[in-house]
Amino acid sequence: MPTLSLSQTAQAIASGERSAAAVLETCIARIEATDARVNAFTGTRFDAARAQAAQVDARRACGEPLGPLAGVPFAVKNLFDIAGEVTLAGSKVNRSNPPATADAVLVQRLQAAGAVLVGSLNMDEFAYGFTTENTHYGPTRNPHNLDCTAGGSSGGSGAAVAAGQVPLTLGSDTNGSIRVPSSFCGIWGLKPTFGRLSRRGSFPFVHSIDHLGPFADDLPGLALAYDALQGPDPLDPGCFATAVAPTMPSLAQGVQGLRVGVLGGYFDAFATPAAREAVSLAADALGVHVAVQRGIEWPDAAAARAAAFIVSASEGGQLHLASLRTRAADHEPLSVDRLIAGALQPAAWYVRAQRFRRLYRDKVNALFRDWDVLIAPATPVAAPAIGSEWVHVNGQRLPCRPSIGLLTQPISFSGCPVVTSPMWPGGTGGLPIGVQLITAPWREDLALRAGWALAQSGVAQVKETAL
């Protein structure tokens, strides 16, 4: 049978064209055939998934109503709680923790919509990294080139979708951890507005910046999943949503009536020619032809990135201070020094960074008086080789791992929602580079509309791998 995308799978199961059990077995076979090479999964729960799929098929056979994601297989970054399993968050330190007593809220919501949970996914330890080069569980490899990184920290989430193992995954994004794997793996990703989705039942990295969101293999499926994830959560003080704001009904409008622009300045300076070509492809497809619509300045981008580093290191270091004091050797070698340094930062730095953040958000939000959607590259480069220590960006030799987030950190520090769209410029050896579709807070619908326009134009697409 031909491979179906997320939205096509949901439609096929709802119509009875395919059974949830058959769809699941196809995914299980794909995982078993490919994951020894990709290393996206750290745990599977196939028996439980088969029971869930059987329940979907039984409800359909009885004529009972099905949820919008009925029978769609999904997996989650291993910082989401799964009842009965230890929440690893990519670490060795957490292995001795007791199993979770309940599923994370977002896992519950996908299952309430009928989706079938098949397992948990690899990540950078404690979500502190951009490459998923995890010393404890091995690196996740890019399905388009197994020598290259899948990005991070949600690398397993990006790779599992790109490899065709599952059509839907969940990840987290503090400084770019949904957008970077989406860019490197050539799939769709959504970082919602800060505070839009409940984080209850997920292991934190930086409480004041963490976002949770979905990855998908098609744009309508991304919107379908996002709508299922929405909803207030009075038990999560970091969830500010008061109502569901469905996005599916407006997708077909595309960018009609929207003011679309392209970010320049900082976002040009730290983009390679291939990344700029990805932006040009997207801009042309969205009708950005007038010079005034290109080269828009995002305020204080470099300062925002510096402040994001300070906040991330400080909060991350404090969160893990006890284990850093007693079990430093059990932490990820690639990040333990940064956590220790963060724990030792002066409190005045953290306070100053957070004060700046308030002023920064006001400046960013003012941009959206004139623009509805802003386009920027998601990463400066295509996926580098695993183990790379340096990247070259416009004549500059930069440290690889932190520099991968050059173009994502300023955006998440503002809290704005972003859809990452898979683009395929030249000069990358066949690897993708994504573009960010950025909108004002709480306007995920506009970013998804722009993504749908790119998908319809054909310039944004998810390509099958040669695995």
* pLDDT tens readout for residues 437-450: 999 999 999 999 99
312 is catalytic: no
pLDDT(1) > 60: no
Mean pLDDT within 98-107: 98
d(CA 157, CA 310): 26
> What pLDDT is attached to residue 291?
80
Q: What angle do CA 258, 262, 268 make, to 5 degrees?
A: 170
- Residue 360 reports pLDDT greater than 80: yes
Whether 94 shows a pLDDT value over 90: the answer reads: yes
Q: Are 329 and 131 in contact (CB under 8 A)?
A: no
Residue 33 tokens read as 């055939």
> According to the model, what pLDDT value does residue 2 have?
59
HSE-up of residue 450 (Cα within 13 Å, Cβ side): 34
Supply 57's token pair.
């098929």
Is 215 a residue whose pLDDT tops 80?
A: yes
Token pair 């997996």 is found at 75
DSSP 244: -
Query: In whole numbers, what is the pLDDT of the chain averaged over residues?
Result: 97
- Residue 232 phi/psi, 5-degree rounding, is -65, 155
pLDDT digits 0-9 by tens, 76-93: 999 999 999 999 999 999
Q: Over 80: is that where the pLDDT of 42 sits? A: yes
Question: What's the confidence (pLDDT) of residue 12?
Answer: 98
Choose among 444, 380, 375: nearest CA to 415. 444
191 part of the active site: no
Whether the predicted pLDDT of 39 surpasses 80: yes
Catalytic residue, from 19, 120, 153, 157: name it. 153
Read off the pLDDT of each residue in 6-26 and give the average, rounded to a whole number.
Answer: 98
Judged against a pLDDT cut of 60, whether residue 41 lies above it is answered with yes
**Has 153 been annotated as catalytic?**
yes
- Determine the longest span between alpha carbons in the chain, in angstroms: 64
Of 156, 367, 373, residue with least CA distance to 279? 373
Report the percentage of the chain scoring pLDDT > 90: 98
Count Cβ atoms below 10 Å from residue 403 Cβ, excluding itself.
21
- Say which of 7, 77, 120, 403 is annotated catalytic: 77
Give residue 3's pLDDT: 83
Catalytic residue among 154, 177, 312, 314: 177
In this predicted structure, what is the pLDDT of residue 248? Answer: 98
Q: Which pLDDT band holds residue 292 (cuts at 50, 70, 90)? A: confident
- SS3 state of residue 121: strand
* 317-338 residue pLDDT tens: 999 999 999 999 999 999 999 9
pLDDT in tens, 233-290: 999 999 999 999 999 999 999 999 999 999 999 999 999 999 999 999 999 999 998 8
Mean pLDDT of all residues in 389-406: 97
Instruction: Measure the CA–CA gap between 214 and 194, rounded to whole angstroms.
Output: 14
